[in-house]
Amino acid sequence: MAIKKFFNRFLLFLARAGDRDLARHVQYLKIENQILRDKLPKRIRVSPKEKQRLVKFGKPLGAAIYDVITIVSPRTFQRWLAGEKTAAPPANTGRPRTPVDLRALVLRLARANAWGYTRILGELKKLGLAHICRSTVVNILREAGIDTAPKRGEGTWDDFVHRHAASLWACDFFTKKVWTLGGPVSFFVLFFIHIGTRRVHIAGMTAHPDRQWMAEQAGQVAQFFAVQPETPTHLIRDLDSKFTLAFDAAMKSAGVTVVPVGPRAPNLNAFAERFVLSIKSECLDHFVVFGEAHLRYLVQEYLAHYHTERPHQAKDNAPLSGGPAPPCQEPAAAKAIGREKRFGGLLNHYRLAA
């Protein structure tokens, strides 16, 4: 309210003042404005609404505006005046933007199938959406960061593993030093792991994994594969010389394709390597083993814990035995939780008391 009264008095003062007084007032205001302007950034951005106000009040001044204006250059103000005289800008021309649901469908087809833009275009045409053009599909894929070229070849190793997880197995050895009457002996344990469920099958253990022993294990594993719910189709193994031609032949006769991984590439047999790390760090590294029977007992106890009690992060933090999770318990029910121990507390398992 006070500001409004001030401007009313100021305008009344200007109306009563003479030409000479007005010139003095304008000169003072110009100097004051220039001082204030010098303290601001060199370029001042004005909104469209502010621009309209400047044009509205500056246009009646004519050429005198060039002696007063400081917020922009006189040339800029002249462009503003010229723009005011031009007609309204024409309406937007060109092809309308692709509907959101159609864009979502293109991305859905690309991500679910790894198709190129031509294959996607054909699928859309089959669905009666032929009005979308090739360049539009390409632009939609590029904006989403998806390769516009189709996926060729056999794909990555990760693609292979996920595609065959339900029928894919891997095998490997882990070793443990066992003390016998004749001194320490390294025992080799041959195991197989199902990639889809992470379940482990111990085929056998020996201190002498020669060709004959490997052939016997291959025959027994072929019989084990024959009774599995999901018929195995592929077996991953490394280039260990213990995997003989007879071993591969036995797998082939059981309808299993052996997939050897490259040398010094443990990441290609990562599931088997991870099991070796688990059984050693959680169990075997904590024991001095006396005899083969002791080793068998340790391995069997660990497998029971591994399959039925131990949560697995890759399987939604649930045990491999599955089964529904118990209902949520009240905090007071924590007192009813008991601990079950294996190996004197080395491996612990907790369950609700009966």
Residues 75-126 have pLDDT tens digits of 887 887 777 555 455 555 556 677 888 888 888 888 887 778 888 888 888 8
| Rounded-to-integer distance, Cα 224 and Cα 209, Å | 20
The answer to whether residues 297 and 206 belong to one domain is yes
The structure's pTM equals 0.59
pLDDT of 9 = 64
The domain of 23 spans 2-85
Q: Which residues contact 171 (CB under 8 A, 6 or more apart)?
A: 190, 191, 192, 193, 203, 235, 236, 237, 272
The answer to whether residues 214 and 302 belong to one domain is yes
Helices 245-253 + 211-226 axis angle, to 10: 20
Measured from the Cβ of residue 102, the count of other Cβ atoms closer than 10 Å reads 15
pLDDT of 87 = 46
Is the residue at 118 inside a domain?
Answer: yes
pLDDT single digits (tens) 246-277: 999 999 999 999 999 988 888 889 999 999 99
The answer to whether residues 206 and 264 belong to one domain is yes
| Rounded-to-integer distance, Cα 302 and Cα 283, Å | 7
Backbone φ, ψ for residue 254 (5° rounding):
-90, 5
Is the residue at 332 inside a domain?
Answer: no
Task: Give the confidence band of 289 by pLDDT, cuts at 50, 70, 90.
Answer: very high
The answer to whether residues 70 and 132 belong to one domain is no
Is the residue at 341 inside a domain?
Answer: no
